[in-house]
């Protein structure tokens, strides 16, 4: 039987992750989608799920779903024996912005508690968002894990997959109005994300203009971003500003940008702002029939990823694999 190419992609990712003994935190441990995906991940020996929440509630939910917790780790913030150490580490990390009393209350929140497990090297990454907003997931990561050296902002990329075709779209989730430096960082980090999926990066910095066909602050922002990105990584195949057709269609590229390094075969598309990025990936998903996997958060010291509240068990499973791969 022929294997679906998208499923084949995740089968390969599962093979890469297996054997690395990754531990991934799930702060929404009583959600049925989370528990089902965690059970599959544990039973497949892909990684160790780390469940955060009330111990009794997790056990009751698992029993009701006939799920074994044997291969998982469970942390209950209310009875965690290492809470004093965690509180001290959190206060120190927040550089005096919170008191010990405030930290005690904050760390009862499963997202903050789970993020601290990653920060304290008790786990390698975190997946949340099935029952929380993006802000609830991302805020603890920005406050605790923080950005990699040289990266100022996190960004959200989507793997867009259909048949044998794989592309990366960014930023489609986080930064409303990125400046040139932000766009350059998004391009560099998106190239790293693409390589996880065996995509050799060819980055197009998108605009409504191709190589000066229109001149405005918006187009100059994108062309400046392309220059900054090339300075950061001279070996990266990247160009901009480019309209989508000039980045994607070789015949159009020949007419509009014949000297471009992209030549109409880009596989990473960096949008000039969140409005364009979010609309763009949803058009590809809903009209084009592409599977949108993500958002994959980029630029953090340790991986934290955000699910949609409408996610499926399969989405949880896939994003956990991606998170584990980011940690390797």
Listed in sequence order, the residues at least 6 apart from 119 whose beta carbon sits closer than 8 Å to its beta carbon are: 89, 93, 144, 145, 302
> pLDDT tens string for the chain (328 positions)?
555 667 778 888 888 988 899 999 999 999 999 999 999 999 999 999 999 999 999 999 999 999 999 999 999 999 999 999 999 999 999 987 989 999 999 999 999 999 999 999 999 999 998 888 888 888 999 999 999 888 888 999 999 998 889 999 999 988 999 999 999 999 999 999 999 888 999 999 999 999 989 999 999 999 999 999 999 999 999 998 999 999 999 999 999 999 999 999 999 999 999 999 999 999 999 999 998 888 899 999 999 998 877 788 888 999 999 999 999 8
H helix runs in 141-243, sequence order: 180-196, 217-232
pLDDT of residue 96: 79
Angle, CA of 279, 153 and 196, to the nearest 5°: 75
pLDDT of residue 292: 87
DSSP for residue 31: S
pLDDT of residue 5: 67
- Using CB atoms within 10 Å of the CB of residue 1, give its burial: 0 to 12 exposed, 13 to 18 middle, 19+ buried: exposed
- Distances in Å between the alpha carbon of 270 and those of 39, 49, 155, 204, 291? 36, 33, 11, 6, 18
CA distance 166 to 168: 7
Residue 80 neighbours by CB distance under 10 Å? 17
Cβ atoms 299, 174 nearer than 8 A: no
Listed in sequence order, the residues at least 6 apart from 266 whose beta carbon sits closer than 8 Å to its beta carbon are: 202, 203, 204, 242, 247, 248
Read off the pTM.
Answer: 0.87
- Distances in Å between the alpha carbon of 216 and those of 57, 241, 270? 56, 12, 18
């Amino acid at each position: 039987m022929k294997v679906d190419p998208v499923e084949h992609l995740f089968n390969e990712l599962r093979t890469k992750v297996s054997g690395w003994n990754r531990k991934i935190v799930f702060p929404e441990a009583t959600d049925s989608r989370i528990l089902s995906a965690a059970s599959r991940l544990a039973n497949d020996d892909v990684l160790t799920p780390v469940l955060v929440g009330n111990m009794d509630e997790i056990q009751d939910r698992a029993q009701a779903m006939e799920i074994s917790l044997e291969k998982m780790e469970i942390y209950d913030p209310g009875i965690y024996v290492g809470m004093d150490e965690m509180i001290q580490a959190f206060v120190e990390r927040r550089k005096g912005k919170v008191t010990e009393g405030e930290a005690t209350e904050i760390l009862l929140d499963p997202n903050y508690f789970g993020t601290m497990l990653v920060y304290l090297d008790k786990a390698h990454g975190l997946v949340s968002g099935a029952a929380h907003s993006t802000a609830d997931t991302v805020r603890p990561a920005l406050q605790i894990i923080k950005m990699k050296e040289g990266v100022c902002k996190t960004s959200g990329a989507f793997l867009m997959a259909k048949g044998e075709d794989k592309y990366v779209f960014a930023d489609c989730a986080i930064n409303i109005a990125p400046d040139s430096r932000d766009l350059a960082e998004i391009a560099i980090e998106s190239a790293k994300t693409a390589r996880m999926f065996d995509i050799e990066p060819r980055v197009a910095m998108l605009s409504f203009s191709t190589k000066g066909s229109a001149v405005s602050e918006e187009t100059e922002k994108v062309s400046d971003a392309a220059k900054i990105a090339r300075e950061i990584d001279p070996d990266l195949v990247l160009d901009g500003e480019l309209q989508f057709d000039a980045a994607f269609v070789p015949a159009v590229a020949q007419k509009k940008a014949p000297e471009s390094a992209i030549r109409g075969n880009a596989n990473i598309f960096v949008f000039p702002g969140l409005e364009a990025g979010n609309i763009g990936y949803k058009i590809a998903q809903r009209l084009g029939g592409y599977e949108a996997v993500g958002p994959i958060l980029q630029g953090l010291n340790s991986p934290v990823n955000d699910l949609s509240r409408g996610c499926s068990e399969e989405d949880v499973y896939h994003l956990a694999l991606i998170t584990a791969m980011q940690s390797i």
